[in-house]
Amino acid sequence: MSAQQPYSFFHSVEQSFDKAAKFTKWDPGILEQIKACNAVYQIRFPIKRDDGSIEVIEAYRVQHSQHKSPCKGGIRFSDEVNQDEVMALASLMTYKCAIVNVPFGGAKGGLKINPRSYSTYELEKITRRYTSELVKKNFIGPGIDVPAPDYGTGEREMAWIVDTYQSLKPGEIDSAGCVTGKPVSLGGVRGRKEATGLGVFYGIREVCNMHEVMHGMGLPVGVEGKTIVVQGLGNVGYHTAKFFREHGSKVIALAEYEGAIYSADGLNEEEVFQHRKKTGSILNFPGATNLAKNTDALELECDILIPAALENVINAENAPRIKAKIIGEAANGPCTPEADEIFTKKRILCVPDMYLNAGGVTVSYFEWLKNLSHVRYGRLEKRFTENLNTHILAQIEGLTGKQVSDQERAFIKHGPDEVDLVYSGLEETMSAATREIMDIWHSNPEIPDMRTAAYVSAINKVATIYAELGIFP
């Protein structure tokens, strides 16, 4: 594709895939099969608006891969939605799940609507109708395809989806597992809401704790004191900013679609969020400076830049002006392949989306397992662990004649709650994936960037399954 042709997100994903495929040994047929979207369901349905007018809604569900079942991926509400975008996002889900060893194929859904232009009642009608269209074609179910939140959707929409599904499939014992990201009262798991942001934090922290990587970039080890710029104050951006701030980093700028704000002293995401709720904008936040354009925030001097909104925000045009040392792709596809080339030359480390933002789907996996097992995490072992820890501590204190502080006692005694297990499972997943990708990258000096290393990891994992199935001798 020449630079003149319109941007295709799916083509960008294919380009990154091809760049990495060269570093693998797989048959071209296997690689073709992995790249292709297996099923593209394009839907149109009418809804009656509150004013009585009829509107036709454009919607999609794409199942990129069934090498593992079910397929998994969010549902996006945005007026930018189109088939190309949903195909790209579904592909990324396959690679993402493979990298973090979550046993799902990739999928994605999208509805071409701006949720801010609809009433709650209209959004409910649209979500329920979309769900019933998926049910009709067998495009949803705990063993088939399991949606989740994405840009423009959240717990509320997932609640409507599970309720619609259950009303159409009465008596299906595992039906709560038809969608993840649900409210806890409807079978959700504690920790899912903040999971993507927390995963971004764990992934970047792991990179920042790698001495050789930090020394190579002339940066001190650790996240403490690092300056951060976050683009997007939705669920992902908000929680990413929160976890960095809580661990001693300084969030010096935040950007939303109406503009961006800067403060050298650091911003508190919750205060900015409340200010936006009150005034309708992040601009004019007390103590901060307004930036002329929201995209100006991307070009600020900082240690870590976190694009946490939409795709294609850092491209051939603005990549040369990026001054961050590390880019953490919290969104899907924020940097184009052309931007990657520029980062390699400028020695900017881009930590790629398809594993960095995998925290969401990782905890979705935990939620799905919870739904299939019909029991809350920690329910069986919490009291047992607490009794055992109390006993061990009493023995140690008896033998040593010394007593630990009350604070230490509470910490040692504590048996795991659901959220403790979810956080530790996520931390382990993100740390292991970071190390695995870094090892692939550093094992071959020809691999130009971390994204390519991540794709190599994903391709190897998916191709191994096809090869072991014997489909491709």
Residue numbers of the site for ligand GLU (CB under 6 A)?
A: 72-74, 148, 150, 180, 332, 357, 360-361, 364
Instruction: Give 57's strand partners.
Output: 45
**Nearer to ligand GLU among residue 72 and residue 226 (C-beta):** 72
DSSP assignment string, 129-154: HHHHHHHHTT--BTTTEE--B-TT--
Name the amino acid, one letter, at 211: H
Give the residue with the Cβ less far from ligand GLU, 342 or 350: 350
Q: How far is the CB of 343 from ligand GLU (least distance, A)?
A: 22
Rounded distance between C-alpha atoms, residue 24 and residue 463, angstroms:
10
The residue with tokens 């971390």 is 450
Sheet holding 304-307, edge to edge: 289-291, 259-262, 250-256, 227-231, 304-307, 326-328, 349-351
Cβ proximity to ligand GLU: between 73 and 197 the closer is 73
Beta carbon nearer to ligand GLU, 145 or 303: 145
Answer yes or no: are the C-beta atoms of 134 and 144 closer than 8 Å: no
- Look at strands 259-262 and 250-256 and give their pairing: antiparallel
Kindly list the distances between the CA atom of residue 49 and the CA atoms of 53, 118, 214, in Å, as whole numbers in the listed order.
Answer: 5, 8, 54
Cβ nearer to ligand GLU, comparing 263 with 312? 312
Among 130, 310, 138, which Cα is nearest to 234's? 310
Nearer to ligand GLU, 260 or 454 (CB): 454
Element spanning 307, H or E: strand 304-307
Q: How far is the CB of 26 from ligand GLU (least distance, A)?
A: 25
Closest approach, Cβ 357 to ligand GLU, in A, equals 6
E-only strand ranges, 331-370:
349-351
**Dist. CA 23–CA 459, nearest whole Å:** 10
CB 168 within 8 A of CB 135: yes
- Furthest-apart CA pair in the chain: how many Å? 79
Contact 38, 65 (CB under 8 A): yes
Distance in Å, CB of 289 to ligand GLU, minimum: 32
Taking the complex as a whole, how short is the minimal distance between the CB of residue 150 and ligand GLU, in angstroms?
4
Q: Taking the complex as a whole, how short is the minimal distance between the CB of residue 75 and ligand GLU, in angstroms?
A: 8
Ramachandran class of 248: left when φ > 0, alpha when ψ lies in -120 to 50, beta otherwise: left
Q: Which residue is nearest to ligand GLU (CB)?
A: 74
CB of 4 to ligand GLU, least distance (A): 30
Report the SS3 class of residue 335: strand
User: Parallel, antiparallel, or unpaired: how do β-strands 75-77 and 54-63 relate?
Assistant: unpaired
Between 235 and 294, CB nearer to ligand GLU: 235
For ligand GLU, give the closer residue by CB, 74 or 188: 74
| 108 counts as catalytic | yes
Please, which residues have CB within 8 angstroms of residue 320's CB and are 6 or more apart in sequence?
342, 346
Q: How far is the CB of 410 from ligand GLU (least distance, A)?
A: 33
Minimum distance from residue 436 beta carbon to ligand GLU (Å)? 18
Nearer to ligand GLU, 285 or 377 (CB): 377
Give the phi and the psi of residue 323 in degrees, each rounded to 5: -110, 0
- Set 19, 68, 72, 108: catalytic member: 108
Whole-number Å distance between alpha carbons of 305 and 319: 12
Q: Cα separation of 180 and 192, whole Å?
A: 9
Residues known to be catalytic: 108
